[in-house]
Amino acid sequence: MDLSRFLLKNYQNKLNNGSVTWSSPSNIALVKYWGKKEHQIPENPSISFTLDSCKTITKLIYSKKNEVDNNFDFEVYLDEELKPDFHPKIETFFKRIESYVPFLKEFKFTIKTKNTFPHSSGIASSASGMSALALCIMSIEKQLNSNLSEEEFIKKASFLARLGSGSACRSLEGDLVVWGKHPNIEGSNDLFGVKYPYKVHEIFKDYNDTILLVDKGEKQVSSTVGHNLMHGHPFASQRFDQAIDNITKIKSILESGDLDQFMALVESEALTLHAMMMTSMPYFILMKPNTLEIINKIWQFRQETGLPVCFTLDAGANVHVLYPNKYKDKIYEFIKAQLVAYCQNGHYICDKIGFGAKQL
């Protein structure tokens, strides 16, 4: 694997102090990434919808150190509150990316971050958070090296984001992003996410994702622990083959606009992700009784009305309800009347397909 394109060999400009701000969204996988090799290389390709309203806004304030030492010097604030407990994760991220952005130790950083969704919503902020931070770091690189093209900027930002949190590399662009090498997706690779390069049917252009917050607590299983459960998992290789196959299938579904096939594939992916956790050692059940209540209600409503509403899940109990905008009125009424009662404190988030990160 040739990583040399991401090395910053020399930078001609001088930079003292300033700040950069990026807003970066979350994403929801249709074909899931679950299982990784060393250096955050995915065991299988994945594809996601980029979201719109669930995002992280990060301001990176930098000032040049008088003398360069051997430390990463930074403070992290969430909603203006100093967060020493975020330090280890960001220190690990900086260590992983240092060889590609060798200027990190030359600056003192203040990282000010906030999410548009509540921190304790059970919605992972790592995809939006790590992609926003990676973009801020790339904006510094761009100032040091003005030769960097837009295309290389975004690829390298995705490459860095991946080293923070795998799925973060799918959050920079929209509206569909593929990460992980797949023979039928041109340009796809394990190092960074790429915008889905083929024709997509109109019906998928304005999909909604209503996120039902069934459990707003901390994740029961961290994604690091979760991915590791795939090592030596009895069904691992079948699962990775299935994901490869599902990417091939979703390619033709995205082109044809066949919603029945889309819903079957997406729901099967969600349940397979959870099945992997139930059949690993140790084993976990990440759904809650209300997750199942919601799933059954969706199936019942779909059968009765024929409306194209389906669900997907992350590695937790919350349910993402997916449906085309064309059917929004009826489906949103159903969600409010029949599903919101299963949410913790009645909380849910209305999101939809988005088009990626923005510099502010």
- Contact residues for ligand PMV (CB under 6 A)? 29, 32-34, 46, 124, 126, 165-167, 223, 273, 314-315
Query: What is the smallest separation between the CB atom of 68 and ligand PMV, expressed in angstroms?
Result: 32
The residue (of 61 and 250) whose beta carbon lies closer to ligand PMV is 250
251-278 burial code (b ≥16 CB/10 A, e <16)? bebbeeeebeebbebbbebbbbbbebbe
The residue (of 137 and 273) whose beta carbon lies closer to ligand PMV is 273
Query: What is the smallest separation between the CB atom of 338 and ligand PMV, expressed in angstroms?
Result: 26
The residue (of 46 and 58) whose beta carbon lies closer to ligand PMV is 46
Query: What is the smallest separation between the CB atom of 167 and ligand PMV, expressed in angstroms?
Result: 3
Query: What is the smallest separation between the CB atom of 134 and ligand PMV, expressed in angstroms?
Result: 13
> Which one, of 49, 60, 68, 48, lies nearest residue 23 by Cα?
60
CA distance 107 to 11: 15
The residue (of 32 and 297) whose beta carbon lies closer to ligand PMV is 32
The residue (of 61 and 266) whose beta carbon lies closer to ligand PMV is 266
Query: What is the smallest separation between the CB atom of 316 and ligand PMV, expressed in angstroms?
Result: 8
CA 318: distance to chain centroid? 15
333-356 burial code (b ≥16 CB/10 A, e <16)? ebbeeebeebbbeebbbebbbbeb
State the virtual CA torsion across 326, 124, 229, 236 in degrees, nearest 10.
20
Query: What is the smallest separation between the CB atom of 133 and ligand PMV, expressed in angstroms?
Result: 14
The residue (of 69 and 245) whose beta carbon lies closer to ligand PMV is 245
Q: Angle at the Cα of 268 (from 266 to 272), degrees rounded to 5?
A: 120
Identify the DSSP state of 336.
I
- Strands 107-115 and 73-78, by their bridges, are parallel
Query: What is the smallest separation between the CB atom of 30 and ligand PMV, expressed in angstroms?
Result: 9
Question: 135 phi and psi, to 5 degrees?
Answer: -65, -40
Residue tagged 């088009």 (tokens)? 355
CA distance 338 to 359: 39
The residue (of 34 and 107) whose beta carbon lies closer to ligand PMV is 34
Query: What is the smallest separation between the CB atom of 225 and ligand PMV, expressed in angstroms?
Result: 10
Q: Cα separations (Å) of 299 from 167, 231, 293, 295, 305?
A: 28, 33, 10, 6, 10
The residue (of 50 and 165) whose beta carbon lies closer to ligand PMV is 165
